[in-house]
Structure 1
């Protein structure tokens, strides 16, 4: 797996993960989702930047938690090793965890799993939700005790 990871916002307490930790989380997620060995780009950004992307590419107003842009309109993981790009807002991630009383590590894993499944060609539905739940149950516990300052 090759992960091209860029931080397009200043580091802050909303996202205290190092590049090494995010890369490790991505590897574990790809394995849990049974799409290991694939490459993707991940941009960690803030609400203002993701709002611009959300408007420019999807015609939606305002920020969102995560966006996924598959490499192909009809992804075929049997032919392409590169899945596409994910953009994640640390501001929305932090706001949602407080608003919904979620464990931040679980929510981050859920958002990344959801986005990765979109890159792999999955649409919303029971199969996608089940795979996402498996990823959260498998990967999130590994990070819950390692990240300080989110609780």
Structure 2
């Protein structure tokens, strides 16, 4: 089976979240399908606030931690071509496990919901979307699909 997401862990995991390799791969597959990006791949690095703040400063010139950073493999104005082998890899995501926990508490969201929301948001950026109504609608649809898919699985509960 071709793995759709490569996962690197550079921090401790929060037991409230579906952060094991198999759980993240299953969630990623559902999100990619919901976003009509089946067959695409990406890498995900789980980091802490200190590392994501460093990445945020180095690559975006922004100070402080954020929740997720997207590093697309393709230029924003170059369309993804499903038949092009090079376009199968979307890029890299860095997710702050610290921010994930903090925001889940702050927003009162179910852990799986917020994890799915951040991952879908990052994946959409990798696919070339910028913040827009279309992006937010696609994000919500992907999260709804993930919640429906995993509602009885116990993942992230």
Same fold (TM over 0.5): yes
Map Cα deviations across residues 84-142 of structure 1 (whole Å, 9 max, x no partner): 00000010010001111111111110111111011111111111011001001111233
Note the 1:64-103 alignment, pairs <5 A.
64-74=66-76, 75-78=78-81, 79=84, 80-103=87-110
The residue that corresponds to 1:125 in the other structure is 132
In 2, are the aligned partners of 1:4 and 1:40 still within 8 Å (CA)? yes
User: 1:24 & 1:103 partners in 2: Cα distance?
Assistant: 18
Of the structure 1 ranges 81-90 and 138-147, higher mean CA displacement relative to structure 2 is found in: 138-147
The residue that corresponds to 2:8 in the other structure is 6
In 2, are the aligned partners of 1:14 and 1:90 still within 8 Å (CA)? no
Query: How many residue pairs get matched?
Result: 149
Of the structure 1 ranges 13-22 and 130-139, higher mean CA displacement relative to structure 2 is found in: 13-22
In 2, are the aligned partners of 1:14 and 1:91 still within 8 Å (CA)? no
User: 1:26 & 1:18 partners in 2: Cα distance?
Assistant: 12
Q: What 5-or-longer segments of structure 1 have no aligned partner?
A: none
SS at match of 1:88: strand
The residue that corresponds to 2:119 in the other structure is 112
Aligned-residue Cα RMSD (Å) equals 1.6
| Residue 143 (structure 2) pairs with residue 141 (structure 1) | no
The residue that corresponds to 1:18 in the other structure is 20
TM value normalised by structure 2: 0.88
Q: What 5-or-longer segments of structure 2 have no aligned partner?
A: none
Residue 16 of structure 1 and its aligned partner are, at CA, apart by: 4.8
Divergent runs of 4+, >6 A: none
SS at match of 1:136: helix
